[in-house]
Chain A
Amino acid sequence: MRTIIAITLAAACSPALAALSIFACEPEWGALAQEIGGERVSVYTATSALQDPHHIEARPSLIARARRADLVVCTGAELEVGWLPLVLSQSGNARIQAGERGYFEAASAARLIEVPERVDRAMGDVHAAGNPHLQLDPRNISRVAKALAARMSVLDAQDASYYLERELAFQQRWSAATARWERQAEPLAGLPVVVYHANLSYLFNWLGVRTVGTLEPKPGVPPSAAHLAALLAALKQAPAKAVVRAAYNDPRAAQWLAREAHLPEVVMPFTVGGSERATDLFALYEDSIARLLAVAR
């Protein structure tokens, strides 16, 4: 009986024999950590593709998971400013505090766009460091992969070669895929679209998709009837090809505008798990491009 309890306790306390326990703030970083870490890591993803990454609460389950993590992998650039500091301070886990080796921000390795000249909340919920939705530029994924593998190798020196080799293999597959996607996506250059929130900017910037309007009047401010009416009028002058939103964005405003403007609505997976097809990072990009190509023709 005692043995059973001991085994149960051990199983409850260490769900995997993996060397590194990783707490990923968003699904894309969970997927990337898995690509690099293989079977040597256990990954917990704190949020899903259907949740707005700006509006997460420091739920008890997140605090409990952060307690045992060796490495926290988050976007940074203030995306998690509302909840991650609280999770970290309540976790009682010294290894993952900001500034420690167990704290990794993707934004520190990525190249950020849309960095505001000045910040003022009259502009909406702007991020001083730039647009934090950086996972939809494949070059950022590559940069973050390199930095993340280096960090994982430092934290788990025994498995360093394993991580670095997996990262090199990932980089090779990723650059081949990136070149393929760039070819496939050529028809998307100049495609005019209306987007819900500036959360697809990196993808559009990379592929040359043109944003001609946003459903949110200002970042983080829900669409209002007046703004939607003005947007509809503007679309009569400068038509778009589609109304695009991320899976987690409220569908109502996008559906209304798509109906009124006779445009197709495109629901982008935004991150891993945001559509049935987007099961990993490669599939995320493939699905995203396929969905845009379907309305470009």
Chain B
Amino acid sequence: MFRRLLGVAVLAAALPPAQAQESPRAAGGNAFNPGISLILQGTAASSSRDPASYRIDGFAPTGGEVGPAPRGFSLGESEIGIAANIDPNFSGQLVASFSADNKVEVEEAFFQTLALGGGFTVKGGRFLSGIGYLNGIHQHAWDFQDAPLAYKAFLGGRLNDDGLQLRWLAPTDLFLEFGAELGSGRVFPATPNSRNGANAATLFAHLGGDLGVSTAWRTGVSLLRARPEGRAFDDVDGLGNPVTQSFTGASTLLIADFVLKWSPNGNATSTNFKLQGEFFRRKESGALSYDDGTALTGDYASRQSGWYLQGVYQFMPRWRAGLRYDRLDRGTVDAAVPLAGPLASDYNPSRVTVMLDWSGSEFSRIRLQLAQDKSRAGLTDNQVLLQYLFSLGAHGAHTF
């Protein structure tokens, strides 16, 4: 037995290694260049209300880019992504976007561990937070051109704080993942600050799996806690005088999300269907100030919520159609001082969006999107836009 084993081992050792059969690869200074991908996008849009006057009534402004696409032709965010393994322990990625007004923004710049094992992964730097479902997906991979109203009202579009993320995947056949993040609090709902330590924190859990061969699902709950300090917005009072309203206190956001994907035998190439929805609920309490020259400060407490539900159906190769319904509920807002701007409005915004897109290949997509947006109290904004989305360079990831 031993001799046979030895013989086999010698035989195996004497054979050339598998790699030796490979054709020789060019090895030069650029052999270690990272994967580079580029997203080009733009829109031609028309809307019945001026996008510059956009606001979500009933909710405090977030300061993020939440308005609809500008009227007429407009370059969307051009995005460049650079990613590679750093060494056997880490990988790194940078995603920078160039906006139409010639600004560069670092969307993501993070390292991630490869070798911790035991189901643990640590990410550090600036990254799209793991909360919710849509938050972790880059805008160009969304099924509609813009974010759901709930993302706009509660996260200013999305959460990409600077900080650390720890994730742990349970060793089970069912996908069960837990995550926690500590952040600087540089973005809404927190405020930039000069405090030591973390000023925003998240917790999330995801559960997912397959239902037979044709259906896959994922659901999750997330919690975001932040301590904004002097989170302010400017508006005008009834007489047109400038007013600043600012909030200091605790903000807790709860998100419940689900996504379900169906395709015949799990083969999404010809036809497939995707249903997703998320529910947001935010509780804020602390002190609100109203400053029209004389500052008034008083107790503030609010409970607000919102949700969206969307379905996208690929009815034949290349063609997809989608429908999305958005709804925000102003809930209860109790303040001991006057409320300013959109926050003063007792209004529940809603929106209906339909889209049709055509993908010439995996790397190109042209989309027509129509929306009836009732974000402004008593006003209906009818929006039509045509969008192109092109992906160049390194192959994009097929995120679930």
> Do the two shown chains form a genuine complex with each other?
yes
Q: B-contacting residues of A (Cβ < 8 Å)?
A: 12-13, 15, 47-48, 50-52, 55-61, 63-65, 67-68, 78, 81-83, 85-86, 89-95, 97-100, 108-111, 115, 121, 124-125, 143, 146-147, 149-150, 153, 160-161, 164-165, 168, 220-222, 248, 250
Q: A-contacting residues of B (Cβ < 8 Å)?
A: 1, 4-5, 8-9, 12, 15, 18-19, 21-23, 85, 88, 91, 112, 114-121, 167-177, 206-210, 213, 216-218, 261, 265-270, 317-318, 360-363, 392, 395-400
- Report whether A55 and B167 are in contact in the complex, using a CB–CB cutoff of 8 Å: no
> 25 interchain pairs (CB within 8 A)?
A13-B171, A50-B213, A50-B265, A52-B268, A57-B398, A60-B217, A64-B208, A78-B395, A82-B362, A82-B395, A83-B398, A86-B399, A89-B91, A92-B120, A92-B168, A97-B88, A108-B19, A110-B21, A125-B362, A161-B4, A161-B5, A165-B4, A248-B267, A248-B269, A250-B270
Q: Once bound together, how far apart are the Cα atoms of A58 and B208, in whole Å?
A: 12
Q: In the complex, what's the smallest C-beta–C-beta distance from B70 to chain A, in angstroms? A: 30
- Report whether A64 and B176 are in contact in the complex, using a CB–CB cutoff of 8 Å: yes
| Residues from chain B with Cβ under 8 Å of A146 in the complex | 15, 18
- Report whether B397 and A222 are in contact in the complex, using a CB–CB cutoff of 8 Å: no
- Report whether B361 and A51 are in contact in the complex, using a CB–CB cutoff of 8 Å: no
- Report whether B169 and A97 are in contact in the complex, using a CB–CB cutoff of 8 Å: no
Q: Once bound together, how far apart are the Cα atoms of A179 and B330, in whole Å?
A: 75
By beta carbon, the residue of chain B nearest A107 is B22
For A64, A65, A109, A222, the residue with the greatest tally of chain B CB atoms inside 10 Å of its CB is A64
- Report whether B4 and A147 are in contact in the complex, using a CB–CB cutoff of 8 Å: no
Q: In the complex, what's the smallest C-beta–C-beta distance from B183 to chain A, in angstroms? A: 20
Q: In the complex, what's the smallest C-beta–C-beta distance from A57 to chain B, in angstroms? A: 4
Q: Please give 13 more A-B residue pairs, beta carbons under 8 A apart, in addition to A93-B117, A143-B18.
A: A13-B171, A48-B265, A55-B269, A60-B216, A61-B174, A64-B172, A64-B175, A82-B396, A92-B117, A92-B167, A97-B114, A248-B269, A250-B269
Q: In the complex, what's the smallest C-beta–C-beta distance from A294 to chain B, in angstroms? A: 25
| Residues from chain B with Cβ under 8 Å of A92 in the complex | 116-121, 167-169
| Residues from chain A with Cβ under 8 Å of B269 in the complex | 52, 55, 248, 250
| Residues from chain B with Cβ under 8 Å of A82 in the complex | 362, 395-398
- Report whether A50 and B267 are in contact in the complex, using a CB–CB cutoff of 8 Å: yes
- Report whether A93 and B119 are in contact in the complex, using a CB–CB cutoff of 8 Å: yes
| Residues from chain A with Cβ under 8 Å of B213 in the complex | 48, 50
Q: Once bound together, how far apart are the Cα atoms of A188 and B134, in whole Å?
A: 51
Q: In the complex, what's the smallest C-beta–C-beta distance from B259 to chain A, in angstroms? A: 10
For B172, B266, B360, B398, the residue with the greatest tally of chain A CB atoms inside 10 Å of its CB is B398
Among A57, A85, A147, A168, point to the contact of B400 (Cβ < 8 A). Answer: A57
Q: Once bound together, how far apart are the Cα atoms of A98 and B83, in whole Å?
A: 15
- Report whether B175 and A164 are in contact in the complex, using a CB–CB cutoff of 8 Å: no
Given contacts A86-B398, A98-B85, A168-B8, contact A60 B175 (CB under 8 A): yes
- Report whether A90 and B169 are in contact in the complex, using a CB–CB cutoff of 8 Å: yes
By beta carbon, the residue of chain A nearest B11 is A164
Among B23, B119, B208, B268, point to the contact of A67 (Cβ < 8 A). Answer: B119
Among B9, B174, B266, B392, point to the contact of A160 (Cβ < 8 A). Answer: B9
- Report whether A250 and B317 are in contact in the complex, using a CB–CB cutoff of 8 Å: yes
Given contacts A86-B399, A146-B18, contact A59 B216 (CB under 8 A): yes
Among A15, A58, A153, A161, point to the contact of B397 (Cβ < 8 A). Answer: A58
- Report whether B12 and A97 are in contact in the complex, using a CB–CB cutoff of 8 Å: no
- Report whether B21 and A61 are in contact in the complex, using a CB–CB cutoff of 8 Å: no
By beta carbon, the residue of chain B nearest A85 is B397
Given contacts A50-B267, A82-B397, A92-B119, contact A15 B173 (CB under 8 A): yes
- Report whether B117 and A61 are in contact in the complex, using a CB–CB cutoff of 8 Å: no
